[in-house]
Amino acid sequence: MRRTRRLGRYHLVHRVAFGGMAEVFRGFTFSADGQRHDVAVKKLLPHFVEDEQFVTMLTDEYRLVSRLRHPNVARFFEIARVGKDVLISMEYVDGQDLRSTIDQARTMGIGLVWEDIAFVLARSLDGLHHAHEATGDAGERLEVVHRDLSPSNILIGYDGDVKVIDFGIAKANLNRIQTKQGVIKGKVKYMSPEQAFGHPLDRRSDVFSAGSVLYELCTGRQPFRARTEVELIFAVRDAAPPDCRQLVPDLPEPLARIVDRSMARERRDRFQTAAEMRDALVDFLQSHAPGYRRTRLARFMKHVWAEEIEADLRALEDFVLDLPEGPAENLGTNLLADELGPDAAYARFSPMPTRVTRAADVEAAAVQAHAPLAPGETVMDPFAPATVRVRRRDDDD
């Protein structure tokens, strides 16, 4: 039997990632009706918690992120202090990031096909465009720019869903470490030229980064390579990667043109919005693979990650909740409580279930999440208007 670790409103089941800024845990919490909600909980590393300026900067960034509500952006719940810890909770995506998926598939000698590539990027750009269009209470444009779009910040669910993450971290993290030698090398590879120059950024910087991700997915290599960090920065500033057509002779020409335009060195020569680039990818997808559905991507994910899915199910089979005796205490202090208001989703979260929750319940929910689609089951139509909610599974090929 394993015991969950409780942190604020959340039960932490196991760690799923460890990065330079935080540990990331799979966790869950409960709403007033006893429903279990899966969450991802980022626990800042101690030296970041001790940096009050960084925590303030991060909180300000999440003040903007809290306004984002879109199916292709992982939803943010809260940033809170719990004792000596600072945590960030967000929607949990039952899947893997694009970086890991690319690498795992490569070890199996397989990869994403052109239509999967177009779909993943189109959905990511949908989320980006929503963020770029975000406005404040008075209708003013908030000028949200991700600044760190990369394969590691695109999540793909085992159900084929796609979500962009870490809008709030990029600016605060880069501002804190930009003078530290060698720390941001991994980020530079997907930067726009203007970002590598340190110039002011707008949405077209994210378009360039999306183009860099598309380039890698199409060619199997990153667009910019160098022996040192300084050389890499200069390569990004020049924005002259090898022609993707020479690397992959059978690359469909429409995809090659999208790569070229999105990675233009001058901002005025790129797609001017993420929506523009998305529309070009959707046009390609609908002409190259009519009737494409995200269930195709789901089948790919479940094939690539079959062993990990099974291991995850086993890990959830047997655990004991760390329940407080009496009323739950030390739920933490939400650093954006005034901004989010008393009716925010996090305010309804509690580590205390109102009904008995058994390990079998959790296992059953996890099995259902990973199960193949049954005949008649409904799935989202990725390109339907907002008023069209579902499509019958029977209609999918």
> Annotated catalytic sites, by residue?
148
Per the structure block, which two tokens stand in for 121? Answer: 């990027």
Secondary structure in 3-state letters for 69-106? CCCCECCEEEEEEECCEEEEEEECCCEEEHHHHHHHHH
Burial call 257-295: b when 16+ CB within 10 Å, e when fewer: ebbbbbbbeebeebbebbbebbebbbebbeeebeebbbb
User: What is the spatial distance between Cα 267 and Cα 195, in angstroms, rounded to a whole number?
Assistant: 12
- Report how far Cα 124 is from the mean position of its chain's Cα atoms: 9
Whose tokens are 């380039």? That residue is 215
Give the Cβ contact number of residue 210 at 10 Å. 30
Burial call 315-331: b when 16+ CB within 10 Å, e when fewer: ebeebebeeeeeeeeeb
Burial call 10-36: b when 16+ CB within 10 Å, e when fewer: bbbbeeeeeeebbbbbbbbbbeeeeee
Burial call 160-183: b when 16+ CB within 10 Å, e when fewer: bbbbbbbbbbbbbbbebbeeeeee
Q: Are strands 319-320 and 2-3 parallel, antiparallel or unpaired?
A: parallel
Burial call 87-122: b when 16+ CB within 10 Å, e when fewer: bbbbbbbbbbbbbbbbebbeeeeeebebbbbbbbbb
User: Are 336 and 66 in contact, with CB atoms under 8 Å apart?
Assistant: yes
User: What is the spatial distance between Cα 313 and Cα 369, in angstroms, rounded to a whole number?
Assistant: 10
